[in-house]
Structure 1
Amino acid sequence: MDATPHDPTPDAPTRDDAPRPLRRDRVATLVVTALVVVAADQSSKEWALRTLAPGAAPTSVIDGWLQLRLVFNPGAAFNMATGTTWIFTVIATFVAILILRVSRRLGSRGWALALGLLLGGAVGNLVDRLTRAPGFARGHVVDFIEYTKFPFMDFPVFNVADSCIVTAACLIALLGFRGIALDGTREPRPGTDPADA
């Protein structure tokens, strides 16, 4: 008796493959979010440069809580690691390229928003490092927002891009805690039945 030939079924889609229309929608969310962040960041910095003076007394926005003070930051977000501007130029460029590469796997709206915020924040500060004094890849980032009531420490002066980077980090942590992967699938938590995930 002849064996029945085996007709292989098509390979099941891997969990890295989101449906193409859904993936396009999520990539569009990422790109639009990033563009909005960059536009808001750069326009707010230009406003700060026109309105505020370096070394001048801070301008109060919410009395005792929030004020505006113009500073030029040669380091990372929130004035960390000053004096290593070129390193953060390289890091920001790498982060932007990495986000664009992983965007091909996007199937989650939350991840699209988080990566859009992160990309926009990275590019917003990268523009400063590439275009502002003292020179290409060594430019100082414009910071001008100061929160004066942070407990336990003097909170560094920051900008819109910094805020978006921190928001993205919090959102990524939340997505990871909930077990939501880039493609929108949900990882089962330890000790749970995968069928219940």
Structure 2
Amino acid sequence: MRYRLLLWAGLAAFLIDQISKYLVVHVMRVADGEIDVLPPLLVFKYGENRGINFGLFQGNSDAARWVLIGVSLAICIGVLIWLRRVTPSKFMLFCGGLLIGGALGNVVDRLLYGYVLDFLNMSCCGINNPFVFNLADVFIFAGALGLVLFDNKKPS
């Protein structure tokens, strides 16, 4: 099975994202107050993201929630179609899995809570970053970057 790596990378990204959110939000109860991990470089800070990555395009309407779920699912399908039309390297399959797994992790949050749970905050060098994000966002960004940078452009 040629796409096994895509499946396993996607499943790993999804599970790591969901488990991390559960542990930090529900077990460590970050909503009760910030948790300094390696301050200021890494702080757990509770956030409810009703927009897209890093809190962009915030919207509180139920319609916006369903539009973002639809866009996320369309992107997942688009990535799958694209990877089937080219001869993807193993690295491309891995990156596609990261992107899809991260996107589906955020979709599950929107379905369960109506928003995406965020908890990671990183600041450095006197710059105070106000944004919070989650591991799904990291997987989406890394996966998309990897797909763009390492696309081998060979149609199948």
Q: Same fold (TM over 0.5)?
A: yes
Q: Say whether residues 1:90 and 2:70 are aligned partners.
A: yes
C-alpha separation in 1, matches of 2:18 and 2:131: 19
Counterpart residue type for residue 101 of structure 1:
I
Pick which of 92-101 and 62-71 moved more: 92-101
How far did residue 66 of structure 1 move?
0.7
How far did residue 104 of structure 1 move?
2.7
Question: Is the Cα–Cα contact under 8 Å of residues 129 and 141 in structure 1 kept in the other structure?
Answer: yes
Q: Say whether residues 1:131 and 2:107 are aligned partners.
A: no
For normalisation by structure 1, the TM-score amounts to 0.68
The residue that corresponds to 2:144 in the other structure is 169
Post-superposition CA distance 1:123-177 (Å, at most 9, x none): 0101111122xxxxxx11000010012787725200010000111122123214x
Q: How many residues align?
A: 150
Question: Is the Cα–Cα contact under 8 Å of residues 35 and 44 in structure 2 kept in the other structure?
Answer: yes
Change (3 A) 1:104 1:173: closer
> Structure 2: 5+ residue runs without aligned partners?
none
Structure number with greater CO (CA < 8 Å, separation at least 6) is 2
Question: Is the Cα–Cα contact under 8 Å of residues 66 and 145 in structure 1 kept in the other structure?
Answer: yes
The residue that corresponds to 1:181 in the other structure is 153
How far did residue 95 of structure 1 move?
1.2
Change (3 A) 1:94 1:146: same
Counterpart residue type for residue 153 of structure 2:
A
> Structure 1: 5+ residue runs without aligned partners?
1-23, 133-138, 185-197
Question: Is the Cα–Cα contact under 8 Å of residues 29 and 116 in structure 1 kept in the other structure?
Answer: yes
Q: CA RMSD in A?
A: 2.2
Post-superposition CA distance 1:33-84 (Å, at most 9, x none): 0000000001111112221242x43211112211101111111111111103
Bigger Rg, which one: 1
The residue that corresponds to 2:94 in the other structure is 113
C-alpha separation in 1, matches of 2:95 and 2:143: 5
% identical aligned pairs: 28
Give matches, 1:65-80, under 5 Å: 65-80=41-56
SS in 2 for 1:119: helix
Change (3 A) 1:108 1:70: same
The residue that corresponds to 1:29 in the other structure is 5
Question: Is the Cα–Cα contact under 8 Å of residues 96 and 144 in structure 2 kept in the other structure?
Answer: no
C-alpha separation in 1, matches of 2:50 and 2:39: 28
SS in 1 for 2:44: strand
SS in 1 for 2:119: strand
More helix, by proportion: 2
C-alpha separation in 2, matches of 1:31 and 1:150: 38
SS in 2 for 1:170: helix
How far did residue 111 of structure 1 move?
1.2
